[in-house]
Amino acid sequence: MPRELTEKDIAILKKLAPEFCGTDCSGSGHMFRSILPPVSNHFSEDGKDFAHRISRLSDEELQYIADMIVAGEESLGCLPEEDLDSVIGLVKDRLSPDLAKKILNTYAAGESCGFRE
């Protein structure tokens, strides 16, 4: 079942995309179910902008998102490769190379679809 964004998720999303003003995707009309895909696909101008936006995360927020990715509750599936590389690089540099490797393995295994059944 897809997850619903928590207040914490929405606060992080607003930090990364101050222009964010609702939980619905304007393109599909569905509610956002993750933090990173909307930032990447709806708010960032390009890969450089995405990297700049996620660099604003505190280590605690980055850890939270990384843990959600590994748990299969935060999606990376629709991120462009450049944005995926930015997430993995940031986790590697600020948290741990092992955690970055887990995220990459989760992505490669297709387990980062934003929801679990």
Four-residue CA torsion sign, 19, 54, 86, 88: negative
| Residue 117 domain-assigned (yes or no) | no
pLDDT at 18 over 80: yes
**Average per-residue pLDDT in the chain?**
85
| Residue 76 domain-assigned (yes or no) | yes
Q: Report the pLDDT value the prediction gives residue 2, as an integer from 0 to 100.
A: 58
Task: Note whether 38 and 81 are within 8 A (CB).
Answer: no
Q: How many domains does the chain have?
A: 1
Q: Report the pLDDT value the prediction gives residue 28, as an integer from 0 to 100.
A: 43
Where in the sequence is the domain holding 25, given as residue range(s)?
7-108
pLDDT in tens, 45-90: 999 999 999 999 999 999 999 999 999 899 887 899 999 999 999 9
| Residue 59 domain-assigned (yes or no) | yes
| Residue 115 domain-assigned (yes or no) | no
| Residue 97 domain-assigned (yes or no) | yes
Round to whole Å and give the CA distance between 7 and 9.
5
- Residue 60 carries which side chain, given as an amino acid letter? E
pLDDT at 98 over 90: yes
| Residue 114 domain-assigned (yes or no) | no
Q: Residue range 98-113: average pLDDT?
A: 83
| Residue 2 domain-assigned (yes or no) | no
- Greatest extent of the chain over all pairs of C-alpha atoms, in Å: 37
| Residue 1 domain-assigned (yes or no) | no
**74: part of which helix (H) or strand (E)?**
none
Q: How many CB atoms lie within 10 A of CB 80?
A: 14
